[in-house]
Amino acid sequence: MCDSLIARGDSVVCADNLSTGRRSNIAHLTTAPEFTFVRADVAAELPVAGPVDAVVHLASPASPPDYHRMPLETLAVGSRGTELALELAHRSGARFVLASTSEVYGDPLVHPQHEDYWGNVNPVGPRSIYDEAKRYAEAATAAYRRHLGTDTGVVRIFNTYGPRMRPHDGRVVTSFIAQALNGDPLTVYGDGSQTRSFCYVDDLVRGIVAMLDSAEPGPVNLGNPQERTVLELAALVLRLTGADSPVEFHPLPVDDPTRRRPVITRAQQVLGWSPLVSTEEGLARTVRYFRDRPDEVAAARAALAGGQLDGEPAVDRAAAA
């Protein structure tokens, strides 16, 4: 996101406490005069001096290992963090865009998922830490728009992947790639028939920028409507890596969504946005990124040996917006 905005001539202040991010991801920007990094927990403070034209609230742990390790912090960044970001946007007269999630649909009873669907979420289940934080964030954003006239927009992000992710991140794409490159078995939960729709990061960023530049309130789904089963994804990763790793099956976790695919008609109509990078091409780019970092991938083995949720570890056995 920072790369994209700076490339078009914007000045960017990036606030992050690096609880799940890495300073190396922005190292190439630190000498740019248009870029300022502020290390801060946005659930406690958002120390940005001067007026701003836009606020993009992306802060939150996003993978189950991280939000299970930081449950209260995840709830705080979705609630108080969202309020502080909205306050900054409101007092500056700035455009505000919230990065929400397909998780607000829970384990959907409607397929594919359109923005008018209210979802099927367990408010006290193991995924509720993240789900309900984002649902509250949407409610707060809508309240600021409705009652204070703040210029807000909400995007609901479906499964996103690409370079700069951590190999031990725990989400299914990174887990499969790291396991394949390490020659380890690929861990599949349930029978692998559950589906996801994977969107490459460059496409997602284009969608967020389009939302930022619009007056659309949303919510707007941003995701790739090409639906794949987890087993199909595993087979594709094995083909792209050339690995001969076996697939191991484990019981399906509680509240794991069985199907997930966005309806993107609204994004196409109001933002002129559709994903351009195929799953095969996006995965090939991501495999190349991890193949160039063999030490990181090898170090991820211990973390990936724990249990998973949604093809993702439910609890990160190692210590780590």
| Helix then strand then coil, % of the chain, to nearest 5 | 40, 15, 45
Q: What is 156-191 written as a DSSP string?
A: EE--EE-TT--TTS-SHHHHHHHHHHTTPPEEEETT
* CATH code of the domain containing 144: 3.40.50.720
Name the nearest CA neighbour of 190 among 107, 63, 308: 308
29 pLDDT band (50/70/90 cuts)? very high
Q: What is the pLDDT of residues 76-88, one digit of tens each?
A: 999 999 999 999 9
What is the pLDDT, as a whole number, of residue 286? 98
Is-catalytic flag, 289?
no
CA 237 – CA 240 distance, rounded (Å): 5
Q: In terms of residues, how long is the chain?
A: 321
Contact 175, 304 (CB under 8 A): yes
- Domain assignment present for residue 310? The answer is no
What is the arithmetic mean of pLDDT over 309-314?
39
Rounded Cα–Cα distance for residues 191 and 193 (Å): 6
Q: Quick check: is 314 in a domain?
A: no
Q: 79 in the Ramachandran plot: left (φ > 0), alpha (ψ -120 to 50) or beta?
A: alpha
Buried b or exposed e, range 166-200, using 16+ CB within 10 angstroms = bbbbbbbbbbbbbbbbbebebbbbbebebbbbbbb
| H-only helix segments in 50-171 | 64-69, 71-92, 128-143
Tokens 């007056």 belong to 215
What CA–CA distance (Å, rounded) separates 33 from 55?
19
Domain that holds residue 107: 2-304
**Token representation of residue 49:** 């001096």
- Examine residue 42 and state whether it is found in any structural domain, yes or no: yes
For residue 263, report the phi and psi dihedrals to the nearest 5 degrees: -90, 120
Count of domains in the chain?
1
- With tokens 């040996």, the residue in question is 305
Contact 182, 171 (CB under 8 A): no
For residues 321 and 101, what is the distance between their CA atoms, to the nearest angstrom?
14
Note the pLDDT tens digit of each residue in 174-227: 999 999 999 999 999 889 998 899 999 999 999 999 999 999 999 999 999 999
- Determine how β-strand 95-101 pairs with β-strand 54-57: parallel
User: 137 lies in a domain?
Assistant: yes
What is the percentage of the chain residues whose pLDDT exceeds 70?
Answer: 95
Mean pLDDT score across all residues of the chain: 92
Average of pLDDT values for 136-141?
98
Residue 30 belongs to a domain: yes
The catalytic residue among 130, 144, 161, 200 is 130
Tell me if 121 is assigned to some domain: yes
Tell me the two tokens of residue 284. 């090939």
Residue 318 lies in a domain: no
At 306, the pLDDT band (50, 70, 90 cuts) reads: low
More confident residue, 189 or 116: 116
3-class DSSP state for residue 99?
Answer: strand
b/e map 75-100, b = 16+ CB within 10 Å? bbbbbbbbbbbbbbbbebebbbbbbb
Q: What is the mean pLDDT of residues 16-27?
A: 94
> Does residue 317 fall inside a structural domain?
no
